[in-house]
Structures are given as C-alpha cells and as structure tokens.
Amino acid sequence: MGELRQDAPQRASYDVVIIGGAMLGSATAWFLADNPDFQGSVLVVERDPSYAFAATSHTNSCIRQQFSSALNVRISQFGAEFVQDLPRFMGAEAPKLKIQNFGYMYLADNESFAASLREAQAVQVAAGAGTRLLTPEEIKAAYPFYTVDDLVLGSINTVDEGYFDGITLFDWFRRQARAKGVEYLANEVVALTRNAAGTRVESVTLASGQVLACGQVVNASGTRGARTAAMAGIAIPIAPRKRFTWVISAEQPLERDLPLTIDPSGVHMRQDGRTTYMIGGHTDDDPEVAFDDFEMDHGIWQDHIWPTIATRIPQFEAVKVQREWVGHYDFNALDQNAIVGPHSLVENFLFLNGFSGHGLQQSPAMGRGTAEWLTYGAYRSLDLSPLGFDRIAQGRAYLEKAII
C-alpha cells in the first residue's frame, strides 16, 4: 500500500471523533447525524479511504439469526429489518435491498453439538426466528447433494437469513452521514491524551501533526482496535486473524441453492452466483497475523478445504477455483463477541471492536446503540450492556456457541 493521505481537519475541536470509517464507524456516524436530539459535530478519521484492506471490503456479506444468545438474535433481527427497508430509514431515494434467503445450515456430527443446536434453536424460536431442526433423512430429502451418513442433526432458517449487499449498505451509511454534516478525514490517529485524572480523553493527535480536542471518542478501528485502545492506556484482546475465501464453479452444478453450510469441520460454503459457490475457512492453528498480511496459503485449499467440501458434497469433487482472497477478522480472543459501549474508567472512550466476523450484519444495531449512548448516555432501543467492557476487564466471557 502506498503512502496514506493526511488531509487537514476543518475544526480544532469535535464533539465526537470516530476512529475508523468502515462499516461500524460509518453506521454510528449516520445514526448520530440522523438523530434530531444530537446537535454536535462529528469527525470520522479513516487512515485509508480506499478501504482496500478493511474487513468491510473483504466481507462475505451474510446475515443470520442462528445464534445461541437472545441478544445476538435480536441484533441481527434489527439488521435484517434495516437492510430490507432501507428507504424507510434513509429516505425514498435509498435502494430496496433484499436478503437472499437460502439460509444457514448447521450440521452436527455428534450428540454434544446436536444438543447445542437444540438449545440454540429454542432460544431463536423464542425470539421469533424461524429456525427448524432436521434429521439426516430430512436434510437429504430437502438437499439431496449432501452426504449425511455421519450426521446427527441439522439446523436451518430460511427467513431473513442468507446473503445481502453489504457494500451497498456501507456506501449508503457513509454517503448519507456526509450529506447530514459528518466530516470524513483521510488521516490517522497516532495518539490519545487523557486528562490528569485519567477519566477522559481530552484530545486526539493526527499523523499530520494536528491535535484535536474531543468530547467523546469511538474506537471503530477494526483489526487495529487494540492498538487504538492502547493509545488510551487500555488493553483489549483484539487481533487480526486470517480468513480465506474461494469462489468456485462445479462441473456438475447443484440441483438447488446451497445454504450457507457450516460443516462440522468448520469449513463453510454457500451459493454465490447461479452456478458458482463461495467457500470459506481458516488454518487449524489460526494465529494472529500482521495488519498487512494478506498472503494466500495455497496449501490449505488442496490439503484441507477441497477434500472437506468434496466429502460433504460429492459434486464438488470436480470444481474450478474462479477467484480467491484473504480477509481479516477483528478477532476477540476472549469470546468472539463484540465489545461495545464506554470504558469503565475512561468515560468518554467507547468501543466498537472485536466483531469476529459479525460486523456487517450487526452494524445497524451497533451503530444505533452507540449513537444512543453518545446522545443520551444510555441504550434506548436494545440493551447492549452485556457486550460492554466490564466483562473484558474481568475476563468473563459472554458465551456465544454459534461461532463460524
């Protein structure tokens, strides 16, 4: 990547400075600017406005309600509502987006995992989701291309669950935030200064040298979230982890759309185009990587991914890789759940970190909730406090069993 731009800010002081202008930062900016009760100034600082290496740009753009915690289910339910009724939220000129409801198909090959799927399905149904449990015979009848001999149970929901156009949603968050007066700045925050008592961030320092006073700061810097937090003297367990994606064509296409299938191995696959399929996975050791490490591991496809998908779907024995890429999760090593809301001591420093692959689908609820906290000092629509920083400080995981 070439040298980053360092544009100059328009003001010396902002009521809210959002560090990171990708999906989560832009969602927060839009919800703030759209709220008539918020009258302050907002600056979004984005180090790379091309977003070439942002997690947002490498997303597989999927949404699901199949989580094991009711809060995560409700977060995605609002995401589905927002995505599919964008003109109601953003105005008649906004596009009408659609979720391609091929659903998620979780496959369990042992009784312990099957029990987890049953428990999660009860939570999901209680929250209004349409999740159904399927025996191996029912899976085979509905989706004849699967090998089911090793399976115990499947779980699928085809209502508001599947693929959506996340990049268009991101574009509208960013475009409409700017139209409503949010300033976007191509620059980088390199330091945060706290007051003498240590209870507030007083200013942010940019790579270009300007020092800006700030009322509140939002850490929405993706895989760099831990580095941003460290500038304020705060530690969070966030680091980049590689996620590999391939788009394939099959010599013999499947008879019907492929749900986003989570194989017991952890490899996942879904319909992409009419006759193409998207495959995802990671290495077994799944190490932390450098921010700029997007190198493809070609061995993982040949040694692990292809044999796995060909075993589950024999028609995938004869496939051709059309394209491939590497993206990063902003991985929360404690519990793979987001860290949201204010710090327990530095009261004006808010987190939007650690989404571990859920950021796009959770962005409407997270942007709304963060904007509510910035405006009112409390959540009003959906209580996100279980995802707060206190659990990080205490090492207390907010358990979510349905992690991909």
- Residue that finishes a domain, picked among 274, 297, 328: 328
205 and 132 in a common domain: no
- Per the rule left: phi > 0, alpha: psi between -120 and 50, beta: everything else, 315 is alpha
- Say if residues 362 and 65 touch (Cβ distance below 8 Å): no
- Say if residues 391 and 397 touch (Cβ distance below 8 Å): yes
198 and 127 in a common domain: no
Output the six-digit token pair for 304. Answer: 């692990």
Q: What is the pLDDT of residues 164-223, one digit of tens each?
A: 999 999 999 999 999 999 999 999 999 999 999 999 999 999 999 999 999 999 999 999
276 and 217 in a common domain: no
284 and 209 in a common domain: no
Q: Tell me, what amino acid is at 5?
A: R
Residue 299 lies in a domain: yes
Residue 321 lies in a domain: yes
HSE of 266, CA atoms in CB hemisphere, 13 A: 12
Residues 6 or more apart whose Cβ sits within 8 Å of residue 85: none
What is the pLDDT at residue 404? Answer: 74
Q: Tell me, what amino acid is at 202?
A: E
Residue 339 lies in a domain: yes
347 and 221 in a common domain: yes
Helix-, strand-, coil-residue percentages of the chain, each rounded to 5:
30, 25, 40
What is the pLDDT at residue 399? Answer: 86
User: Domains in the chain: how many in total?
Assistant: 2
What is the pLDDT at residue 60? Answer: 83
148 and 203 in a common domain: no
320 and 246 in a common domain: yes
279 and 208 in a common domain: no
What is the pLDDT at residue 324? Answer: 97
> Domain limits at 256?
99-162+240-328
CA 117 to chain centre: 22
- Residue that finishes a domain, picked among 293, 328, 363: 328
What is the pLDDT at residue 57? Answer: 83
Which CATH number belongs to the domain containing residue 107 in this structure? 3.30.9.10
CA 15 to chain centre: 26
Residue 232 lies in a domain: yes
From first to last of its 404 residues, the chain has per-residue pLDDT tens of 557 889 999 999 999 999 999 999 999 999 999 999 999 999 999 999 999 888 888 888 899 999 999 999 999 999 999 999 999 999 999 999 999 999 999 999 999 999 999 999 999 999 999 999 999 999 999 999 999 999 999 999 999 999 999 999 999 999 999 999 999 999 999 999 999 999 999 999 999 999 999 999 999 999 999 999 999 999 999 999 999 999 999 999 999 999 999 999 999 999 999 999 999 999 999 999 999 999 999 999 999 999 999 999 999 999 999 999 999 999 999 999 999 999 999 999 999 999 999 999 999 999 999 999 999 999 999 999 999 999 999 999 998 887 77
Residue 141 lies in a domain: yes
Note if the pTM is more than 0.75.
yes
What is the pLDDT at residue 61? Answer: 87
322 and 252 in a common domain: yes
Residue 389 lies in a domain: yes
Q: Is 238 helix (H, G, I), strand (E, B) or coil?
A: strand
CA–CA distance, 222 with 354 (Å, rounded to integer): 7
Residue 146 lies in a domain: yes
292 and 248 in a common domain: yes
Q: Is 324 helix (H, G, I), strand (E, B) or coil?
A: strand
- Say if residues 218 and 182 touch (Cβ distance below 8 Å): no
245 and 224 in a common domain: no
Which CATH number belongs to the domain containing residue 32 in this structure? 3.50.50.60
375 and 247 in a common domain: no
Residue 402 lies in a domain: no
